[in-house]
Amino acid sequence: MSKIIEQLEREQLRDGSPRFKAGDTVRVHFQVIEGERRRTQVYEGVVIKRQGKGVRETFTVRKQSFGVGVERTFPIHSPKIERIDVVAVGDVNRAKLYYLRGRVGKKARIREIRQDRAKGAAVKVAPEAVEPEEVEPEEIEPQEAEAEAAEPAEVGAES
């Protein structure tokens, strides 16, 4: 290619896009133009492929919407994309995850690599191994407790 085209393409490259790969779960915030209105729509799913180089680089995100698999391809350096958030880092050994198209439900899950920020080491986590958080019971103020106790008595009186 000519140096002029390369220079123009370098100017159009987007700075600050996060590092992600196939298998990662991402949340893409992009602008949708409907008539004269502009709004931001969020598309969250698993990246099944990245392809191309430079300005032409794209990635495809797959999600399940009402039981139907939906895929959408986004150009990484598009001005319509406001930001890309990496929700989870997947543990996969392939660059293209086309096999997810034939799977639904639990079979379509991808193992997640959870980053231990304190040590800087990656920890593999199976979905079953996550421990539920302990929730402390909330203290109820006396006024609220009296109101809650009064409601069942009123319901019983109506019957």
* 20-35 confidence digits (pLDDT tens): 999 999 999 999 999 9
pLDDT over 70 (residue 123): no
Question: Which pLDDT belongs to residue 128?
Answer: 53
DSSP 47-72: EEEEE--GGG-EEEEEEEETTEEEEE
Question: Measured on CA atoms in the order 64, 67, 69, 70, is the torsion positive or negative?
Answer: negative
Model's pTM, two decimal places?
Answer: 0.68
Asked whether the beta carbons of 71 and 62 are under 8 A apart, the reply is yes
* 96-113 confidence digits (pLDDT tens): 999 999 888 888 888 988
pLDDT over 80 (residue 90): yes
* 18-75 confidence digits (pLDDT tens): 899 999 999 999 999 999 999 999 999 999 999 998 889 999 999 999 988 999 999 9
